[in-house]
Chains A and B, each alone.
Chain A
Amino acid sequence: MTETKSFVEIRHAQKSYGTLEVLKDISLNVERGQIVAIIGPSGSGKSTLLRAINDLDPLTGGEVWLDGVQVNKNLPHNQYEKHINQMRQDIGMVFQHFNLFPHLSVRDNVTMAPKLLKKISDKEADKLAEEQLDHVGMLERIDYYPAQLSGGQKQRVAIARALAMKPKLMLFDEATSALDPELVEEVNLVMKKLAQEHMTMIIVTHEMDFAASVCDRVLFMDKGVVVEEGPPEQVFKNPTQERTRNFLRKHLEGAK
């Protein structure tokens, strides 16, 4: 086993679909408590990279390490399934379209996985649900069903659901892209709160202002490569690459 230094390490990530190469030799280190934003045009591979971290979209080459353990270990099928299920308990993920379980109440959405995988009692589960939902300001909706919630509320519940597994790392895949503009802020506030609590987060986003305000580092991706990487003030204010400048200009025009 190679020794790892960073909390999250992506080494030479490569992914292709047939002849189409969507990730070309990407490496990325994230330290514990750091928040990294990945920006870039659609089709740049940013979501694919994020989804490779918990192996939802397996890489065709390269390694992903979390806290000294390789996530995409090369193991026989059955052993790998066990390993990855264990690893995923430590990696929370939040989706663009929330993916709440519509047949379960808000409470059960939050407690289903911990009950099943961590064998906690009903009483502990209730306490956990209350804690986590309170944390995202959704406690008063604990007995509602997802269909009775607004988009912003759904996403806050989805965050609580991920946090209930006590993950070491949180992945956000365009968590606010599907929301009406007036609902974005409530989700951003929850994410900022997590940032203050030093949760390690990797965030794929279209929101430059948000990325600039909470992230330690910004990655600009295009066509499967990292074009530019650095602290937000550098990437947003003084980008060194032409492609970054073009993207940011277009994005700014789009926002107006």
Chain B
Amino acid sequence: MDIELILKVYPYFLKAAVITVELSVLTIVLGLICGALGAASRLSRFAILRFIGAAYVSFFRGTPALIQLFLLYFGGPQIGIQLDAFQAGVIGLGVNIGAYMTETMRGAIVAVDRGQTEAARTLGLSKAQAFRKVTLPQALRLMIRPLGVNINAQIKGTALVSAISVVELTYTAQRYIGSTYKPFEMFFLAGVLYLIIITAVGKGVSFLDRKVRIQ
């Protein structure tokens, strides 16, 4: 392994890692918003919203994220959607992970025992109050770990946007291979940086989970 080369190029990889982190943060925030809206639709008492929620989940989980990304970035201009690569990456991946997060959040909400809502309603709380005070706080605790799994997948999933030439970690590794002909070193370095990011996030999720766990 060419350590000298790694030491020479790693500052550029660090810069690229920052882009990967930015992409991750933005897509995860967008994903959480889409997930919350999606879960609310899936659990709505209005059939039309339930249908929209289900269609959203089935489309974005049922097709490859890469196809969704290409559709948005390359196909978008044809129907009047002009986005640069970074924007397309954030929106494409964010909406995609939102579909998975929809199911995670919905699952956590329905996993809260029905007796909880009954007890709250019996005391005189409205449906909304019972949700806010009783169901949601318990569901939030239940969803931290599975959302952590979604987030982990999403960070790794940002590598996909290298295919639409966003200069993040994977793209950077590929570019340096083009000039150095050292794929092992370049992918190894990129891999280590992904591992550091994901380990840090994983620790954060575990910490949060421990903090809010119900005794």
Contacts and interface: CB of A to CB of B under 8 A. Distances in A.
Given A116-B133, A145-B215, A101 B116 contact: yes
Contact of A113 (B115, B125, B138): B125
Nearest to A90: B124
Contacts of B121: 56, 85, 88
Contacts of A132: none
Contact of B214 (A89, A103, A113, A158): A103
A215 to B, nearest CB: 22
A147 B141 CA distance: 15
Task: For chain A, give the interface size range.
Answer: 20 to 34
Contacts of A116: 125, 129, 133
B134 interface: yes
Given A99-B113, A101-B134, A147 B118 contact: no
Interface of B: 113, 115-116, 118-127, 129, 133-134, 137-138, 141, 214-215
25 contacts: A86-B124, A88-B123, A89-B123, A89-B124, A93-B119, A95-B119, A97-B115, A99-B113, A99-B116, A101-B116, A101-B120, A101-B134, A101-B138, A103-B137, A103-B214, A112-B123, A112-B133, A113-B125, A116-B125, A116-B133, A147-B214, A147-B215, A148-B215, A162-B122, A162-B123
A134 interface: no
A81 B129 CA distance: 12
A75 to B, nearest CB: 15
Nearest to B215: A145
Given A101-B134, A102-B214, A95 B124 contact: no
Nearest to A158: B119
Contacts of B124: 85-86, 88-89, 113, 117, 165
Nearest to B124: A89
A150 B138 CA distance: 21
Contact of A91 (B119, B122, B133, B138): B122
A81 B124 CA distance: 10
B122 to A, nearest CB: 4
A117 B119 CA distance: 15
A147 B122 CA distance: 22
A176 interface: no
A116 B121 CA distance: 13
Contact of A145 (B122, B127, B214): B214
